[in-house]
């Protein structure tokens, strides 16, 4: 079943993102242009392209049988061989920039055998590097055209096929010869190029090699994956105080310093590098007229070897970009110890390391992990260095008395940003003697400065998993769709309408604002036009006479006080609107059985009762009162209370018979009917009220012309002490088993008639004429207002009734869930689907505060409607 789910997920993603790209191409007439068809496309289109490629790779991997792997390997090495042949023999330069050329003509111009050219070129065509638009003619693809017109990319290709590939091929020979070594001239590079010099020494001595390497590095560092913008966006430079000093250690020509200074005019910068680098860097910097004088005045160049003590002692940030990965641990510790010494004198300073952070296997998109694994192997083969996983970075920094306090992995970057500071014990003792320092295990870095990690954004193959297709879950899903954050929704019900779930909802202005924030504009408009007409007022009827006791139009008080809802919503129509555009992301008949968190890989695996599994980056429990997520995540710390009440929800069609029999003044707006215990009975059992709340739900002709809506009806809820909601023999209907949904609804409808048998026939007609298929009975459960805090997780959270169920007597449960969803969406979107535990903790704290107000409101209504006791006197709820 896991393979089925993975293949289906990949196919669904290809269909979804492929359609998005096709729509963009058709809209922009890009199919007819020879240039890159997605050039200048909005970010959402680039994201869709990336997800399409990722899903296609996954699908090929899933569909490939083991026997085909060696075929794949043979194709790969021959592909590299053909590119080398075309590059080394300068064949690409003889291809016309546009149009095609006959093989015979190209062979003559390039001076190569036509037979070999055909074989090589057609292998390149198969792999997308060249094109054969006409039989016997060859042409550039976009990839080959880039190499032909950009010498830096050509040098990248030359470096790869002539140096990187031969070096990689000798890796096993180097291991066999030297084993586990950090020595710089005992590498695969030394064997491949037959030199005893370390890499940089050899490059400096070989002019041709230096020229190719320089061009390769210009192209490589200019690629989006190494963009300086990731450094600008990945660290909070704006939080530094005015006049803050930043040292860019090994900063070369000061490219980063210029970009930081341009965007953050309150920061001064020092660029440090070796004298031979600074000689040309300072000259080029001074001559660059594009850099404003106000920026130049805040940038200083300083000669410094980072293997020597750091001379700048008063900086706020020491920045290392692509430095530490060049060095094995022994050398890296020397570099970092010099910084540790500075931080002992300046403990508020931070070290920011921008370097590769290898992800745990399978925790990020395939292409990203492939790039990072390539970099890791290259570092081993050329320098006897390595790219490091997060635990490696922890250990390295811990060895010199430093700790990681923040990790960010910018999307599409091959480098992450690690922020490090002194370990608290190190900062306190100020002892410069390394031998006397007690090393703290890397796994014990959970101190007063908790580590913030955001490494793996949500992807189509590891989306945000939303358990429950209720109001809160669907609002969250729409918000994630709006922000292009991958998600999937799993609902335990067999279908959207498989059981009755209540009918009318009232939404106040804060929920309306939250909806506007979550929903795409067209979905929000559809929601607005699908709402019922809104009539604000209240009438209280006597249950025994059917007469008006009290009545008042409006919300009760002027201004914003009293009852002033913004929308009156039919629940079924509301859910239908919330599913618009995300239907393919919702899976029904998926009841969660359990889940497993892998915090190291940043992955959560959900297992369903049908045996299917699904992996995701983040799990949201919006699965209601019986939440499996809450049970697993919050355990016994989150106790719910049985309020002692039960409630029947029902629906009565607004037919002519109802209009004739039911009191007319009870059908204008919200109406309340309260049945208090008679005098003597109340002496023994208290008032024990049973309360009926009802409201007519009517739709305008304009709404009906745009949507499929139910016939006008009366929504009602009958609530009271659970003992009143039993069979005549005292047995609880809620515990009856074996009945179908229809049989249970019919029995509950009969119960509503039994409870109200003393009522006036005009009021009772509501129950006599009800749609008996729609009756449903619930036990009224609530959490306490002061919800105990729980330990936040970077992988799991809950919202709505899964987090804070409450009595329906306040009419604010759905509203609170919508606000939860909007708040959670903001947090997930800001973290690109990959929040830290601190992000989640901040959301959950805000949710608990929001729920506190709503639960107090519902408690007030509960005391009036069914005589609820104080929470401390209520029994724990055990109805999981």
Residues with Cβ within 8 Å of 770's Cβ and at least 6 positions away in sequence, in order, are 650, 651, 652, 749, 752
d(CA 694, CA 699): 16
d(CA 50, CA 17): 9
How deeply is 183 buried, as exposed, middle or buried, from its count of CB atoms within 10 A (0-12, 13-18, 19+)?
Answer: exposed
Query: Quick one: how many helices (H) and strands (E) in the chain?
Result: 32, 31
- Side-chain half-sphere CA neighbours of 724 within 13 A: 26
β-partners of residue 358 are: 389
How deeply is 402 buried, as exposed, middle or buried, from its count of CB atoms within 10 A (0-12, 13-18, 19+)?
Answer: buried
Tokens encoding 697: 């739900």
Q: Helix axis angle, 741-755 relative to 761-768, nearest 10°?
A: 180
Tokens encoding 198: 């370390």
Phi first, then psi: what are they for 219, rounded to 5°? Answer: -70, -45
Contact 351, 318 (CB under 8 A): yes
Report the chain's terminal Cα–Cα distance, integer Å: 28
Calculate Rg over the CA atoms of the chain: 34
> Going edge to edge, which strands form the sheet with 796-798?
586-587, 487-490, 464-467, 618-621, 796-798
d(CA 391, CA 493): 42
The structure tokens 């922009």 sit at 28
Contact 114, 93 (CB under 8 A): no
Calculate the CA dihedral of residues 582, 583, 588, 592 and round it to 10 degrees: -10
d(CA 352, CA 239): 14
d(CA 87, CA 83): 6
Which one, of 872, 840, 878, lies nearest residue 859 by Cα? Answer: 872
Which one, of 403, 413, 405, lies nearest residue 357 by Cα? Answer: 413
707 is known as an active-site residue: no
d(CA 717, CA 298): 69
d(CA 165, CA 344): 45
DSSP 3-state percent helix, strand, coil across the chain (nearest 5) = 50, 20, 35
d(CA 30, CA 793): 45
β-partners of residue 388 are: 357
d(CA 695, CA 30): 54
Tokens encoding 576: 């239908």
Which one, of 398, 390, 385, 396, lies nearest residue 417 by Cα? Answer: 390
d(CA 819, CA 877): 26
Residues in the chain: 880
Phi first, then psi: what are they for 30, rounded to 5°? Answer: -85, -10
Which one, of 642, 808, 801, lies nearest residue 722 by Cα? Answer: 642
β-partners of residue 679 are: none
**Annotated catalytic residue, options 140, 325, 633, 638:** 325
Pairing verdict, β 416-422 and 402-408: antiparallel
Distance of CA 539 to the CA centre of its chain: 47
Cite the active site residues.
Answer: 325
């Amino acid at each position: 079943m896991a393979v089925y789910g993975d293949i289906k997920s990949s196919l669904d993603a290809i269909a979804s993102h492929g359609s998005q790209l096709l729509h963009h191409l058709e809209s922009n007439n890009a199919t007819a242009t020879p240039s890159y068809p997605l050039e200048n496309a909005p970010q959402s289109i680039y994201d869709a392209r990336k997800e399409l490629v990722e899903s296609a790779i996954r699908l090929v991997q899933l569909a490939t049988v083991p026997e085909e792997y060696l075929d794949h390997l043979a194709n790969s090495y021959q592909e590299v061989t053909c590119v080398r042949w075309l590059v080394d023999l300068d064949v690409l330069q003889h291809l016309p920039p546009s149009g095609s050329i006959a093989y015979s003509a190209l062979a003559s111009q390039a001076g190569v055998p036509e037979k070999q050219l055909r074989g090589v070129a057609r292998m390149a065509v198969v792999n997308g590097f060249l094109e054969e638009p006409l039989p016997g003619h060859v042409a550039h693809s976009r990839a080959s055209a880039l190499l032909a017109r950009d010498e830096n990319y050509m040098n990248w290709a030359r470096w790869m096929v002539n140096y990187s590939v031969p070096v990689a091929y000798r890796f096993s020979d180097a291991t066999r010869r030297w084993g586990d070594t950090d020595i710089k001239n005992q590498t695969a590079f030394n064997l491949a190029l037959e030199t005893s010099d370390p890499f940089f020494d050899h490059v400096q001595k070989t002019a041709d090699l230096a020229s190719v390497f320089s061009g390769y590095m210009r192209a490589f560092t200019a690629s989006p994956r190494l963009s300086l913008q990731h450094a600008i966006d990945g660290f909070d430079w704006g939080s530094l105080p005015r006049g803050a000093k930043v040292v860019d250690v090994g900063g070369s020509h000061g490219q980063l310093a210029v970009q930081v200074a341009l965007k953050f005019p309150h920061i001064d910068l020092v660029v440090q590098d070796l004298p031979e680098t600074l000689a040309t860097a300072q000259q080029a910097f001074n001559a660059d007229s594009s850099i404003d004088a106000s920026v130049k005045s805040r940038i200083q160049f300083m000669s410094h070897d980072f293997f020597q003590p750091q001379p700048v002692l008063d900086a706020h940030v020491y920045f290392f970009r692509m430095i530490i990965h060049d060095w094995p641990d022994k050398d890296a510790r020397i570099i970092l110890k010099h910084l540790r010494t500075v931080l002992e004198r300046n403990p508020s300073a931070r070290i920011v390391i921008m370097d590769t952070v290898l992800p745990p296997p399978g925790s990020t998109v395939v292409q990203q992990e492939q790039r990072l694994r390539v970099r890791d192997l290259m570092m081993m083969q050329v320098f006897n260095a390595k790219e490091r996983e997060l635990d490696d970075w922890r250990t390295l920094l811990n060895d010199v008395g430093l700790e990681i306090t923040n990790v960010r992995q910018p999307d599409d970057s091959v480098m992450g940003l690690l922020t490090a500071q002194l370990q608290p014990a190190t900062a306190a003792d100020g002892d410069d003697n390394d031998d006397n320092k007690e090393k703290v295990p890397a796994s014990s870095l959970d101190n007063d400065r908790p580590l913030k990690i955001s490494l793996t954004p949500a992807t189509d193959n590891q989306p945000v998993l939303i358990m429950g297709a209720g109001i809160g879950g669907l609002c969250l899903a729409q918000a994630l769709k709006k922000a292009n954050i991958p998600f999937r929704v799993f609902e335990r019900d067999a279908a959207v309408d498989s059981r009755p779930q209540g009918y009318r909802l009232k939404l106040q202005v804060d929920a309306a604002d939250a909806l506007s924030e979550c929903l795409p504009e067209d979905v929000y408009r559809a929601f607005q036009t699908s709402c019922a007409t809104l009539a604000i007022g209240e009438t209280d009827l006597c249950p025994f006479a059917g007469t008006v006791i009290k009545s008042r139009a409006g919300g009760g008080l002027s201004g914003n006080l009293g009852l002033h809802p913004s929308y009156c919503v039919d629940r079924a129509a509301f859910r239908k609107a919330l599913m618009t555009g995300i239907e393919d992301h919702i899976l029904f008949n998926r009841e969660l059985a359990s889940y497993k968190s892998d915090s190291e890989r940043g992955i959560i695996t959900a297992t369903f009762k049908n045996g299917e599994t699904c992996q995701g980056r983040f799990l949201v429990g919006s699965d209601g009162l019986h939440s499996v997520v809450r049970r697993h995540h919050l355990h016994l710390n989150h106790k719910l209370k049985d309020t002692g009440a039960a409630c029947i929800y029902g629906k009565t069609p607004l037919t002519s018979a109802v209009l004739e029999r039911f009191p007319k003044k009870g059908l204008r707006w919200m109406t309340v009917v309260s049945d208090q215990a008679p005098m003597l009975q109340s002496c023994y059992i208290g008032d024990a009220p049973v309360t009926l709340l009802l409201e007519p739900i009517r739709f305008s002709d304009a709404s009906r012309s745009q949507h499929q809506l139910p016939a006008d009806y009366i929504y009602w809820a009958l609530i009271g002490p659970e003992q009143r909601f039993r069979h005549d023999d005292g047995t609880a209907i809620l515990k009856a088993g074996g009945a179908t949904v229809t049989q249970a609804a019919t029995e509950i409808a009969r119960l509503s008639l039994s409870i109200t048998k003393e009522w006036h026939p005009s009021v009772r007609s509501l129950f006599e004429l009800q749609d008996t298929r729609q009756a449903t009975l619930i036990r009224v459960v609530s959490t306490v207002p002061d919800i105990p805090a729980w330990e936040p997780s970077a992988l799991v959270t809950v919202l709505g009734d899964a987090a804070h169920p409450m009595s329906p007597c306040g009419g604010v449960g759905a509203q609170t869930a919508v606000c939860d969803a909007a708040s959670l969406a903001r947090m997930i979107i800001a973290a690109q689907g990959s929040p830290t535990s601190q992000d989640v903790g901040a959301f959950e704290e805000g949710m608990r505060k929001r729920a506190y107000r709503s639960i107090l409101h519902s408690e007030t209504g509960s005391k009036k409607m069914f005589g609820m006791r104080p929470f401390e006197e209520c029994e724990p709820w055990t109805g999981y």
